[in-house]
Amino acid sequence: MTETLLLALVVVTALAFDFTNGFHDTGNAMATSIATRALKPRTAVALSAVLNLVGAFLSLAVAATIAKGIVDAGVITLPVVLAGLVGGIVWNLITWLFGIPSSSSHALVGGMVGAVLAAVGTSGVLWEGVIAKVLVPALIAPVVAIAVAGLGTWLVARLTRGVPQDVTNRGFRWGQIGSASLVSLAHGTNDAQKSMGIILLALIAGGAVPADSGVPFWVILSCALAMAVGTYLGGWRVIRTLGKGLVEIDTRQGMAAETSSAAVILLSSHFGFSLSTTHVATGSVLGSGVGMPGAKVRWSVAGRMFVAWMVTLPAAGLVGALCHWLESAIGGTAGTLAVFALLVISSAAIWVASRRKPVDHTNVNEAWDEEKGASLEAVAATTGEAGGERVAPVPAVATASSVGPAVSAVGTVSTPAPSNQKVGA
């Protein structure tokens, strides 16, 4: 009975990770369409949710990579899986709070590797798989995306040179909707499978299925639904950073960026690479700025994001390792329940912190002020709007120190200021 309870707890936590993956990564597909107003914010996230759901059924190659290519399934226990999932979820929520488009994939892999290292040491990690299937794609994918999107944007700019902007906006708006839809479909084929792989690991560890089992249909369906629901809620903080913080884009750049992202993600899914769709989408947006003559790329924002990417694996791994040590220190089912309770409490605390300065569909497209460079909590000292209601001023809170300088100054928003003041973002 205890083993069944622990297995159910791990499955629920894995679906929770899939949910956070959905809202954290919505911006990968729809940020540029929202920024250029090719789609209304609510319409964009709804469309993305449906296509993520469909995409989850199209391939299982990445699920196999996560389940059997990163850590030794023979040393995995249910407490280890739970600790790894907590590491991934906590890092996802922290980076979401600060509007950082970091990798949910790397947060999950980091959490699992950290928990395994704490449990059995280096022998439990399949380092060849980590390097070949995670680290190498992490280095190559953004560079490829920048190059492809940069070339595509440059070609589009050349072909449309001299064409009135209102004409190009109308024509490329439809193309942008199509390309954004393709990215959402590609995201479903890649990211939803990561939680499928983790649940398969848990089922194998719990003895529910044999070690050579494939992914059961109920796992595919539940993961697809969890990601779709998360996507529909919209990770507005991350959407804002991707859509407004890196480059001020038009519909031509948006279509080029999204098409590039879809091509790279689908190719990686075909080969079973546990690719970060966030890295690809960010690289494509940067490429659209590099390839467009006269466009301004905010490299300071990009630099902070790159640093956050570098610390994702070790940070999530540290949380996963600490959670496993806590489980071991308390012992038994009580230790596992304590870690789950810690996840619930920390998630609630992060959500409460996010309410200091909400970002939603009503203010996601407000002007970005690069010079302000304050965290979301610091900017809460100004008045803002959330959901159509005015938010009273609150004192600035110095939260950057809790997660480091890499995530301290991205994705800020403010509402219209008096005419003699600059409008912040």
> Which stretches of 40-103 are DSSP H helices?
41-55, 61-68, 78-97
Task: For residues 73-91, give the mean pLDDT.
Answer: 88
d(CA 67, CA 199) in angstroms, rounded, equals 8
pLDDT at 66 over 80: no
269 CB-near residues (< 8 Å, 6+ apart): 59, 61, 62, 186, 189, 190, 275
State how far the Cα of 106 lies from the Cα of 267, in Å rounded to an integer. 18
Of 190-199, 357-366, 380-389, the range with the highest mean pLDDT is 357-366
Percent of the chain with pLDDT over 90: 22
Specify the higher pLDDT residue, 252 or 74.
Answer: 252
- Kindly indicate the confidence band of residue 235, based on its pLDDT and cuts at 50, 70 and 90: confident
Query: Residues of 319-331 as b/e, b for ≥16 C-beta within 10 angstroms?
Result: bbbbbbbbbeeee
Per-residue pLDDT at 379 exceeds 50: no
How far, CA to CA in Å, does 241 sit from each of 260, 275, 399, 412? Answer: 19, 21, 18, 8
Higher per-residue pLDDT: 369 or 172: 172
Percent of the chain with pLDDT over 70: 82
Q: What is the pLDDT of residues 288-318, one digit of tens each?
A: 888 888 778 888 888 888 888 889 999 999 9
Residue with tokens 């939680």: 195
Predicted confidence (pLDDT) at residue 233 exceeds the cutoff of 80: yes
Least confident stretch, 121-130, 257-266, 394-403: 394-403
What per-residue string of b and e applies to 209-228 under the rule 16 or more CB within 10 Å gives b?
beeeeebeeebbebbbbbbb
Q: How confident is the model at residue 64 (pLDDT cuts 50, 70, 90)?
A: low
CA distance 201 to 213: 10
Residues composing the chain:
425
Rounded CA-CA distance 72/74 in Å is: 5
Cα–Cα distance, 223 to 201 (Å, whole number): 14
Q: What token pair was written down for 414?
A: 């403010």
| pLDDT (mean) for 317-327 | 94
Q: What is the pTM of this model?
A: 0.78
Greater model confidence, 194 or 14: 14
For range 122-148, the mean pLDDT? 85
3-class DSSP state of 376 = coil
pLDDT by residue (tens digit) across 7-52? Answer: 889 999 999 999 998 888 888 888 888 888 888 999 999 999 999 8
Instruction: Identify the band that residue 409 occupies on the pLDDT scale cut at 50, 70 and 90.
Output: very low
